[in-house]
Structure 1
Amino acid sequence: DQSPATLAREAARIGFPVLIKAVAGGGGKGMRRVDDGSAFADALASAQREADGAFGDSRVLIEKYLTRPRHIEIQVFADAHGNAVHLFERDCSLQRRHQKVIEEAPAPGMPAVMRAAMGDAALTAAKAIGYQGAGTVEFIVDASHGLDGAAFYFMEMNTRLQVEHPVTEAITGTDLVEWQIRVARGESLPRHQQDLAIDGHAIEVRLYAEDPANGFLPSTGRLARLSLAGGLARVESGVREGDEIGIHYDPMIAKLIAHGPDRQSAIASLAAALDNSAIVGIASNKTFLRRALTHPAFCAGDVDTGFIARHLSDLVDDKTATPDDELVLLGALARLIERRHRAAHAAASSGDPTSPWHERDGWRLNLPAREVLRFAGDIHVAAMADGDGWRLSYRD
C-alpha cells in the first residue's frame, strides 16, 4: 500500500527521523530525510516525483534514519552437521563513502548483553537458511546514546570471508581459512561456542593507493619502494616493490593488522607499524590512517560512520599547506639518482657501454648543465650539475 496515509502512519510508527527511499533507487535519487511528521507529506511527494522521473517507478520504502550509526558485524560459521557458532563482533564504523577503512574487534564499549543478543540474532539468521561455511551478518546500530541498550538493525549478510577477517582470527586464535577447508571437506567445526573467547584487541587498516589531500583520488604508478610494518604487524598484500599500481583494480596496497592485550596497545602497535612503512612512487593514505588511529576521539572509542567526515580537517593535509623543504629536496635528489642508475643500466646492456652519450654528469662545453624538476602541487626544484653531484635550489 503506497498511499500517503499508510506511509505517514508507518513513518510515525517507526519513529522520526526516517528516510524515504525509492524502491528502484540508486545514486541518492528518490531519497529524502524527514525529521518530523509535519514535513513528511511534502518530502514524500518530492521523493516520489524524483523516483518516477529517474526510474519510472514511484514506489518508496520508509526506513529508520540513524543520526549516529555504527556498523557492527558478527562473524558466523556453520557446518553440514547442524553446528553453528559466532566468533563475536567486528566494528567497521570508520568508513569513507560507505567503504571500510579501519576495522577492529571487539567493538569499543560493547556490553556483554548486547554482544550475546547480536550473536544470537546472527546465528538465528544463518540457521534459518541452513547456511554452511563462513559468513558475516552485518548490522547498523543506533549509537546516538551509546551502545548500552542500543537498538540494532539487520543490514545484510555477506556469504564469504570478509577482508577484515584477520582481526577476528587475532582475538579468537583461529585460522578461518582452515575452518573453511575443513567444513568444505565435510568435517565438523573445530570448536563449539563455549570454547570461544575474546583475547585482547585487534585493529586492521586498509592501506590504499590514493591521495587524501586531493579528494582521495586514486594514485597510479610504479612502487619504487615498498616496505611494510617493519615486522611490527601482520601484513597481507598482493603487490611488491617494483609492481605497477594501475586503474583497473582495487587500489588496496595492503592490510596491516595489530593485536595487543588491550585496545590502546593495539593502537600503539599499529601506529608504529605505519611509521615503519615506506611507500615511494605513488601517493597513499598511510599518514591519514595514522592520524585516524591516534585521533583523541578514536582513542576514546567515540566512533561512528560519520567519524571521518566529522574530523576530516584533522586527518587530511591542507592542499595549500607548504611542503617541507628538506623533503622536497630529498625527493628531487632521489629522482636524479634514479635517473643516473637507469642510465648506468642502459649503458651496461648496450653495445658501447663507454659511450659519452650514456653519461649523466651534466658536462657542458661552457656552463654547467641546469634543469628544473617539476613535481605535483606546482613545486619546482632547480638542479645544477656539480662534479659527481648536483646543487639543488628550491624557493630561490
Structure 2
Amino acid sequence: MQTINIVLDGYGFLLCLIIGVYLTTGNRRNKKLNKYFGWICLLNMWMTAGDVTNWVCEGTAHAAYPFLLSTGVLIYYLCVGPILYVYTLYVVEYLKTEVVVHKKYLTASKVLCVVYMVMTVLSMFNGMFFRIAPGNVYTRGWGFWVSQAIPFFIYLINAWVIIRYKDYMEKKDIVLFLSYIILPLTAELIQAHNYGIALLNTAITISLFLIFVNLQSERELLLIQREQELKDSQISIMLGQIQPHFLYNTLITIRQLCDIDPKTAKLAMREFAGFLKGNMDSLSSRMPIPIIKEINHVKHYLYLEKQRFQGRLHVKYEILEWDFSIPSLTVQTLVENAVRHGILSKQEGGTVTIHTESDEESYIVRISDDGVGFDPNRAFSDGSRHIGIENVKKRLEVLCHGNMVINSIPGKGTDVVIKIPKRKAEIR
C-alpha cells in the first residue's frame, strides 16, 4: 500500500506541475483566473510532496527522518486551508463575467483558512491536529476532528456559492465545479476512517484535471475572443468620438473666445482637455465605469457644443440614479448622435435630455431628443453612425448583459432606452 500511495502522489504531482507550467507561461500568467488555478496546482503539489515524505519516512529509523516526517506532515496540513480558499477565489473569478459574487463568501473562507493554519502551526507544540509518536510514527491528535471540520465548512461555502449562482453557469460547469468538492470530500471522509489510504490528493488531482480540460481552456479562449472584440469596439468608438471636424470646430470656437471672452475660453480649454482625457481613458477601461464618470464626460462634450451652437442646443439632466456602472463612452456616443443627427439637423435646434432611474430589476438610462427623428425600419444612411450604435449594443451585452431599444418618429425626435440588469450591475 505504501508503494501505491507514493506512485499515486507522484502522478498527481507531475500532472499538477504540467498544468501549472502551462498556466504560468506566456500571456496566460497575467490572467487572474489562470493565477488562481495555478496556485491550486502549486498547493496540491506541496500537499503531495508532504504526503510522499510521510509515506517514505514514517516508522523508519534514520537520524533525519523524524525531522522530515514532522516537516512533511506540517506542509501537508498547512496546504489544506489555502487550497480551499484559493478555490473560492477561482470560482468567484470564474463567475465574474456573469455576476459579482458577494464578498461575504470570500471573507468567511479566508477567516476559516487563517484559523486553520494557525491551529496547524500550534499543533506542532500542543499535538492538537497531529503528533509524531516515539518510533517516528504519525498519529492523529486529540483535536483531529477540528482539522476535518474547518475544511468541511470551507467546502460548504464553495458548494453554496456554486448553488447560489447556478443560474449564471451551464449544467456542465456546475457538475465540474462540484466535482472538486464532492470527490475530495468523499476521499477525506474515507481517509478519516481508514488511515493508510492516500485518496485525497488523487481525488483533488482528478478534479483539477477535469476542470482544466473542460472549463479552464474553454474560458481562456472565450476571454481572449471577448477581449479582442471589446478592444476593437473601444477603438472604433473612440475614433468615432474624436472626429476631425469636431476637433477643428472646437479649436476655432476656443480661438474666437480668446478674442471676445478670455475667461470663457479658459473654461472651454479645460472642458476640451477633460473630453480628450475621457476618450483616451476609455481605451484602458475594460470594465464598466461608474455612471457619474460617464455623465461628466458627456458634460465636457456638451459644454463645447453649446459654446459653438449657443441657443440652438439645450440640455436637461434628470439623474435620479447614480449607483451603477455602464461601459465607457456608451452615453457619450448616443448623446453625440442625438446632437449631430437629431438636434442640429433642425434649423431652430432643440433639447437633449439625459435621464437615469431604476426599477426592481434594472438600471435605466434614457437619452431623448426632440430633433428630426428617423424611420427605425430603415437602415441608417450614415454608416459611421450605424457602426457606433452597433458597438454600443455589443459592449452593453458583453460587459453587463444590458440591452438598448431605439424609438424614433420622423419630425418628432428619438428616444433611446438602455436597461442594465441589477443582477450584473450590483454586488449581491
Query: Looking at CA atoms only, which structure, 1 or 2, has the larger radius of gyration?
Result: 2
Shared fold per TM-score greater than 0.5: no
Higher helix share: 2
